Each structure stands twice: as structure tokens, then as C-alpha cells.
Amino acid sequence: MAVSRRLLTNARLATLTANGAAHGLIDDGALVIDGDRIAWAGTANELPAAYASLAGEDLDGRLVTSGLIDCHTHVVFGGNRAREFEMRLEGASYEEVARAGGGIVSTVKATRAADEDTLLASALARVDALIAEGVTTIEIKSGYGLDRDTELRMLRVARRIGRERRIHVKTTFLGAHAVPAEYKGRSSAYLDEVCLPALEAAHAEGLVDAVDGFCEGIAFSRDEIARVFEKARGLGLPVKLHAEQLSDLGGTALAASYGALSADHLEYLDEAGVKAMAKSGSVAVLLPGAFYTLRETQYPPLELLRQHKVPVALATDCNPGSSPLASLLLTMNMGCTLFRMTPEEALAGVTREAARALGLGDRGTLEAGKRADLAIWNVDHPAELSYRIGFNSLEKRIFGGSE
């Protein structure tokens, strides 16, 4: 049962607020939780008298961060693509596999064949791996149904995950992820007859928090994505986009023109696209798991994103094809080692900026008023979270003020 007021003492706080220190670090910190919120966070010797009588929980110098946020996942899907992994090792490219009827379309087949409980069970195994690393908020996309019933089923499973586990789930409708086999060469008809009506139905059932698409040669054109975004706008839903992952189609600029919460992947993004994001305030969500899996050699334009002050988030992109990755800690390491992000950027990328990519203003930093979703780590310094590979130093996870 939740204790309504708690005092954490002898804590090192990576607040990620603009307090002048790297990571917003407070070495000799204390943090007060009231209900599901942070009531106060700061230096121990400045603890307000009103909280001084609370029995403190001594963290023995451990690091406290916001609970981690995985802001781009496809954790709900049927089957797996280990065979395709083998094919790629034998020399086939991701696009060749997709054009040969593998890729996303093969997961669609397996997802359509799976009932709700089966999808739930397999997704929970992945979500549990994330929870074990201190993840407290996760975004989950549809997009492996590509028919009305299966798209809705995926989103219902996503909502169920938020009831079965102590984790916040934000759902994203990704009906424009791929053209299903039965509409091959007729992507426009797919949008008219399936995708847009499914979005409307899912929204009517309260299943949609945002709308996404895949703007790419093997998926949908800019004009087609614009039609999906128009529909989202009509329904009052925010948008985001898989953009500039394999080529530069100008999807990011389109997304920015719709005030997108985020544009994701971005390896082929140019400076005009970066500027468009800066203007719209969209978050750049980098997905090093996909970069790694596809052995991409084109790097996302991190330096340009920094120069134009575009917020950068990091996410797993957990999916069966291009990123079978269920570790946000490894994602942070990859963000640093592959993309040359700093550990501070990586931590902000899975907390503060990930919250922003989901339009969530109530979490992601340690400050009064924010949700008391916390991760307590057996490390001395926040850089250790990004530095280790395949090692989970989580001591404790606090969700809405309680374990």
C-alpha cells in the first residue's frame, strides 16, 4: 500500500533541471514524496522544516533519477523474425527482405493470427524486461495489424499492459506502417478503405493517444502521410513520424508542419529538416538499436540537432525486425558509443526529452510537482548508467510514490 508521505535522504539526485550542475546533480540530496508526486527535491541541508519530522529512508548515497521513459516501441506483435536475422547475415539487406515478402509484412501475418491473450503474454515479457530497468512510462504502437480488427486488438493489448503492470502506457496508432499484401501497389486504397477508418474506430474506443506513420520508399509517401495527419488533426490527436530512416523523403519537415511531438530515426535528415524541427519544437527521437541491427552507416545529424537546440530523446524501438531490443540501458550505451551522445544527453534522452516526445509535462525531471516515478540505482555517478554494457544496476523502482 502506498505510504502517502516519504522522505528519501542521503541521495544523489540527477534532477536534470537547469540548476547549473551537469545532470542537474545534487550530491547531498533529499527528496520528499507526497502521494504520487514529488513534493520537494534539493540539498539535504535546505530541507524545509515541515518535512524534517518524516522518518527518512537512507539511500546510502545511491543515485536517484526519474523513472525511465521508453518513448518509441512496438512491443506488441506476434511471432519473431530470427529467420530474417539469419537471412541478413547471409547477405540480404533490410529492404530486400521486405520486398521479398518478409519484413514488416511477415510480422503482420503472425500478429493477425494471434489472439489478444497471446499478444499480451508475449508483450508482457518484453515490458517486464524494461520495468526491471526502471522504466515507468512506455509508448506502444500498433502497426502490425494493417486491418481494422488487428490494429484495434493491438491497441487494446497496449491498454491492458497498463492495467496488468504498474507502468504508464501511451498508445500510438501506426496504421500507416506498411502496405499489407492484399493492398500491394494500392497504398492509397489501403488508406481510404482500412487505415483511416480504423483510426477513427480506434479513436472512438479511446485507444489512441497519438498518430504515427512510416514515411519511406518501402512504406508511404509524404502525400500519403499528409492524409493520415489531416485525419489526426480532425480528431484532435497529436502526430509523430518514422522519418528519414533509410532515405531523405522530407518526412520530418512534413511532420514539423503538423506540429509533431517527435520525428524518429532521422539518419538521413538534412539541415533544412533540423531547422523545421527547431521551429516546431518537435523532439528528435534517435533509435540506435535499429541503427545497430541494420548496420547502418549514415549517422543521425546529432551536431546539427545540438546547434539548432532540437531536444533529443532515445528509445529502444523494440520491434521484431529492425530492433529486437528490450533494454533502455543498452540503448543509452549505444546512444553514447555509436552516436557520440554524452551520458548526460543519454539520460535526458530517456527521461526529460522522452517525456516531451510523448507530450507529458508532468514527469522526466526531479522537481516539485512532477510525478513520483523514480529509479534508484546502485551507482555513484549518472555516467555509469550509460557506461556499462549488459549490466543492470537498478536497486529500486518507485511508481507513483510507491514500490
Catalog residues that contact ligand DI6 under the rule CB under 6 A: 103-104, 107, 177, 214, 242, 245, 290, 317, 319-322
By beta-carbon proximity to Fe ion, the closer residue of 353 and 367 is 353
Q: Which of ligand DI6, Fe ion, none does residue 104 bind to, with CB < 5 to 8 Å depending on kind?
A: ligand DI6
By beta-carbon proximity to ligand DI6, the closer residue of 12 and 242 is 242
Residues between 278 and 317 that touch Fe ion (CB under 5 A)? 317
| Placement of cell 489478444 in the chain | 116
Q: Which of Fe ion, ligand DI6, none does residue 136 bind to, with CB < 5 to 8 Å depending on kind?
A: none
Q: How far is CA 208 from CA 38, 106, 179, 203, 230, in A?
A: 28, 24, 20, 5, 15
What minimum distance in Å lies between the beta carbon of 93 and ligand DI6? Answer: 12
Q: Which of ligand DI6, Fe ion, none does residue 321 bind to, with CB < 5 to 8 Å depending on kind?
A: ligand DI6
What minimum distance in Å lies between the beta carbon of 106 and ligand DI6? Answer: 8
Question: Binders of Fe ion: how many residues, by CB under 5 A?
Answer: 1
Report helix, strand or coil for 254.
helix
Q: Which of Fe ion, ligand DI6, none does residue 224 bind to, with CB < 5 to 8 Å depending on kind?
A: none
By beta-carbon proximity to ligand DI6, the closer residue of 282 and 319 is 319
d(CA 184, CA 356): 36
What minimum distance in Å lies between the beta carbon of 74 and ligand DI6? Answer: 6
- From 283, 380, 269, 289, select the one nearest 335 (Cα to Cα): 289
Beta strands at 25-34 and 5-14: parallel, antiparallel or unpaired: antiparallel
Q: Which of ligand DI6, Fe ion, none does residue 70 bind to, with CB < 5 to 8 Å depending on kind?
A: none
Torsion angle of the four alpha carbons 341, 345, 346, 349, in this order, in degrees rounded to the nearest 10: -130
Q: In this structure, what are the phi and psi dihedrals at residue 321, rounded to the nearest 5 degrees?
A: -105, -70
| Placement of cell 511471432 in the chain | 79
d(CA 204, CA 199): 8
Residues forming a β-bridge with 140 = 171
What minimum distance in Å lies between the beta carbon of 251 and ligand DI6? Answer: 11
What minimum distance in Å lies between the beta carbon of 150 and ligand DI6? Answer: 14
Q: Which residue is nearest to ligand DI6 (CB)?
A: 321
All cell numbers assigned to 93: 539487406
SS3 sequence of 265-290? ECCCCCHHHHHHHHHHCCEEEECHHH
What minimum distance in Å lies between the beta carbon of 151 and ligand DI6? Answer: 15
Q: Which of ligand DI6, Fe ion, none does residue 214 bind to, with CB < 5 to 8 Å depending on kind?
A: ligand DI6
Q: Which residues bind Fe ion (CB under 5 A)?
A: 317
